[in-house]
Amino acid sequence: MVAPASNGTQEVGEAPASPASVPPSSKRRSQAEPPPSDVERKEPAKAWVLVVDDEPELLRGVCRGLKMLGYSVTEARNGEEAVQHLARRAFDVVVSDIVMPGMGGIQLLKEIRQHDLHVPVVLMTGAPAVSTAVQALEYGAFHYLTKPVEPEALDQIVLKAVRMHRMARVKQQAAELLGHAGALGADRAGLGASFNRAMQSMWIAYHPIVDIRQKTIFGYEALLRSTEPSLPHPGAVIDAAMRLGRIEPLGRAIRSLAAEPIPHDDSFALFVNLHVTDLTDPALSDPDSPLSKIAHRVVLEITERSSLDEVRDARRRVAALREMGFRIAVDDLGAGYAGLSSFTLLEPEIVKLDMSLIRDIHVTSTKQKVVRSMTTLSKDMGMTVVAEGVETRQECECLIDLGCDLLQGFLFAKPGRAFPGVSW
């Protein structure tokens, strides 16, 4: 935590004895030491502020005012210099001009969010404009001030920003204590930075789908994984992609990675999940794409949790994929949209029963009746039935009795890098 307020000051540009603590989301400064205590610091400051402005007189004025209020202040004359300071130490608040030669305030804000999702950024401008203000807020500016800035107003904003930064760090600590990784940045720049890191660290886990009667592996489902802590599970990555309008590049990256390790001398199927909007991506049907080259071995899973209504010509698009050799599966059957729209449009070769139907099915007669009916109807239409989420022998035996063709779950293997073995 930042030390409490005092009357101590520090010369502009002088480095504090030790940088403030850094939230885990900050990679560049992840090794920064925690700030010294009041006893250790001769002239304690209540917070560390970086001030950035290309006008020397205004820069000195803002820095002088913040110093008099007890803040430890570092100055930067442009965005590039500010980035250098940010690389060396953590700050509690950044106060920056918007219009500067080279790297302006908005670009500086984007750069900051690549490394720190939480530090508040206060932007100042002498020429206010609605479009600039909207852009500043979109990319996560904490506040937007018009020059000349009144000292009292600046102090109120900076003090509020310091408190909000402390709260962000406390929430981060609470999330980690509860077993949740870092929280998503609410602003576009922070979310974009998290998503970029997730894309860079993305890898594919493979989960076997087995024919328990024959004790053979029918196929593997490709599952998205990432080491980015602020997007701790696949759903968070997908949600970020949707909010950023980047579902298409995410889908392309997943499909490309999923196809990489597939051996040519094996016949198992590869199950790949699609977002419904992936059906409109021309790369999906590109004959030169990695997945298309092995289309005869690929099952494209489309979840029943999403509506196909937003996809124009869905039937035609699916038919074109099938002509290329792809098979189609409806995923999460029983947990998504009611009705027959998915079946009518997709006419799947494979259906996957949602794991919510599978859990404790051996002791739940209602689930048994539902699964038996769905399995019988699916088979009558020529579809193969996969039961997902099998975790116990009792569930496995019950599903076999109910007529399920294939099973998938932790009972047989956990998802892992290509390709996990199976425990029969």
Token match 């594919």: residue? 204
Question: CA 309 to CA 385: how far, in whole Å?
Answer: 25
Q: Looking at residues 1-23, what average pLDDT do you find?
A: 38
What is the token pair recorded at 51? 């001030």
Number of Cα atoms under 13 Å in the Cβ half of residue 56: 0
Q: Which residues contact 408 (CB under 8 A, 6 or more apart)?
A: 207, 208, 209, 210, 221, 352, 386, 387, 388, 389, 390
Q: Is the pLDDT of residue 19 over 60?
A: no
Residue 276: its pLDDT value, please? 87
Q: What is the pLDDT of residue 264?
A: 82
Q: Which two tokens stand for residue 333?
A: 């059957």
pLDDT of residue 16: 38
Tokens coding 398: 């019950």
Exposed, middle or buried by CB within 10 Å (0-12, 13-18, 19+), for 369? exposed
Least confident of 15-29, 296-310, 385-399: 15-29
Q: Is it true that the peptide bond before 343 is cis, omega within 30 degrees of 0?
A: no
Asked whether the predicted pLDDT for residue 390 surpasses 60, the reply is yes
Highest-confidence range of 14-18, 212-216, 239-243, 306-310, by mean pLDDT? 212-216
CB 48 within 8 A of CB 72: yes
The model's pTM is: 0.63
Between residues 46 and 82, which one has the greater pLDDT?
82
Strands 93-97 and 48-52: what pairing?
parallel
Q: What mean pLDDT comes out for the span 310-321? A: 86
CA–CA dist 146, 305 (Å, integer): 47
CA 215 to chain centre: 37
Distance CA 144, CA 21 (A): 26
| Residue partners of 366: CB distance under 8 A and separation at least 6 | none
Contact 114, 27 (CB under 8 A): no
Using CB atoms within 10 Å of the CB of residue 214, give its burial: 0 to 12 exposed, 13 to 18 middle, 19+ buried. Answer: exposed
pLDDT at 409 over 90: yes
Structure tokens at 410: 């932790």
| Domain ranges for the chain | 48-177, 197-407
Mean of all residue pLDDT scores within the chain: 81
* Mean pLDDT across 370-387: 90
Structure tokens at 201: 């660290």
**In 183-313, which residue ranges form alpha helices assigned H by DSSP?**
188-200, 234-244, 247-259
Confidence of residue 28 (pLDDT cuts 50, 70, 90): very low
Top-level CATH class of 48-177?
A: alpha beta
Instruction: Select, from the ranges 57-71, 123-137, 405-419, the one with the highest average predicted confidence (pLDDT).
Output: 405-419
pLDDT of res. 133: 65
Specify burial of residue 400 (Cβ count, 10 A radius: 0-12, 13-18, 19+).
middle
Under 8 Å between Cβ of 100 and 53 = yes
* Tens-place pLDDT, residues 66-96: 988 888 999 999 999 999 998 888 899 999 9
For 194-207, the pLDDT digits (tens) are 899 999 999 999 99
pLDDT tier at 287, thresholds 50, 70, 90: very high
Q: What is the pLDDT of residue 105?
A: 87
334-361 pLDDT per residue, tens: 765 544 556 667 889 999 998 989 999 9
CB-CB contact of 403 with 385 (8 Å): yes
DSSP state of 416: B
| 175, pLDDT greater than 80 | no
Please tell us whether the domain made up of 197-407 is placed in CATH 3.20.20.450.
yes
pLDDT of residue 154: 87
- Strands in 48-52's sheet, in edge-to-edge order, are 72-76, 48-52, 93-97, 121-125, 143-146
